[in-house]
Amino acid sequence: MAGFILRRVAILIPLLFLVSVVAFLIIQLPPGNFVDTYIRNLELQGGSVNAAQREALLRQYGLDQPVLVQYFLWISRIVLHGDFGNSFRYQRPVLDLLIERVPRTMAISIAAILLTWIIAIPIGILSALKKYSFWDYFFTFLSFLGLSIPSFLLALVLLYFVFSRTGYLATGLFSPEFENAPWSFAKFENVLQNTWLPLVVLSVTGSAGIIRVLRASLLDELKKQYVTTARAKGLPEWRVILQYPIRIAINPLISTIGWMLPSIVGGELVVSKVLNIPSVGPMMLDAVTGQDMYLAGGFVLILSSLTIIGTLLSDILLAWSDPRIRFE
């Protein structure tokens, strides 16, 4: 097991360096830069910038250097000082913006993932054990419905339904009177009143796919010889199911940790936009569309690194839960 982990960690280090190069190149791909976007927006408002002022702006933001020099300056500050640079748009350090947005996004995303698993795992097991029964058809219909309905559409429908019935507009994290208020039980209660809607939307759309995967995996395992042998030995049915096939059928869910970690930090962009939640997703979209190089690069680097780290964690958990994987 130790050798398995060391091999995976050894691959991780050069891969993170490669990810940083790719992340920086991706944010350089769109034509122009932040200064060009700034000048274009200024001209749309009736202003103008001459060539000397443009050169001064390029020097101010460090965009007059070659791309290779910009990359090494960027990555060296991150590695040596943890400095992701300053956001052009917000005129603040990128790290401060990350610290401000990431915790609230993680709280919502982790709660949504836990709720998703709480809903999906029991339903997936029940659907497989009661194959072709009323409950199997019922949950299959619901899961296909959850897969087919876009999350933003479900959010809009629920938002309209709640507002039409109660007159309460469940958007944002806080009501205006609690926006700058110190933390208290009333503020925590207000957060719950505003975040239950995105949690329901994310858990419904997320659990639909997990139900289908778990049902299919468990049905495959229930047909295998070791299940028949366990039953022939007289083991109780609940023990046969919980101790053997479910341990194997859960492996596809463990393997999804690789993309669950970046989703925890990145959040659901479209749902956040629709429900006006100040999470990482909308800020990342603004950074990309506004060519805010360091802010967009910081987001891409963190999300890509979390994908790699999540894959490492899923490999370790899979090797722990299924000894056969350790020898691959």
Q: What average pLDDT does this structure show over 147-166? A: 83
Predicted TM-score of the model (pTM) = 0.73
Residue 180 has pLDDT above 60, yes or no: yes
Confidence tier at 326 by pLDDT (50, 70, 90): low
pLDDT at 262: 67
DSSP 244: T
238-282 pLDDT, tens digit per residue, is 888 887 788 888 888 777 776 776 666 655 666 777 777 777 777
DSSP collapsed to 3 states, 87-108: CCCCCCEHHHHHHHHHHHHHHH
Residue 138 has pLDDT above 70, yes or no: yes
User: Of 159, 163, 164, 168, whose CA–CA distance to 200 is shortest?
Assistant: 159
d(CA 189, CA 271) in angstroms, rounded, equals: 21
The two structure tokens encoding residue 327: 């020898």
Amino acid letter, 172: G
User: Of 117, 262, 279, whose CA–CA distance to 203 is shortest?
Assistant: 117
pLDDT at 270: 67
Compute CA distances 306 → 65, 101, 176, 258, 302, whole Å.
29, 16, 34, 8, 6
Compute CA distances 84 → 37, 266, 297, whole Å.
21, 17, 8
- Interacting residues of 167 by C-beta distance below 8 A, sequence separation 6+: none
Least confident of 13-22, 37-46, 123-132, 169-178: 37-46
Residue 72 has pLDDT above 70, yes or no: yes
Q: What average pLDDT does this structure show over 110-138? A: 87
Please give the full DSSP string across 208-220, using - where no structure is assigned: HHHHHHHHHHHHH
282-311 pLDDT, tens digit per residue, is 788 788 777 777 788 888 887 777 778 877
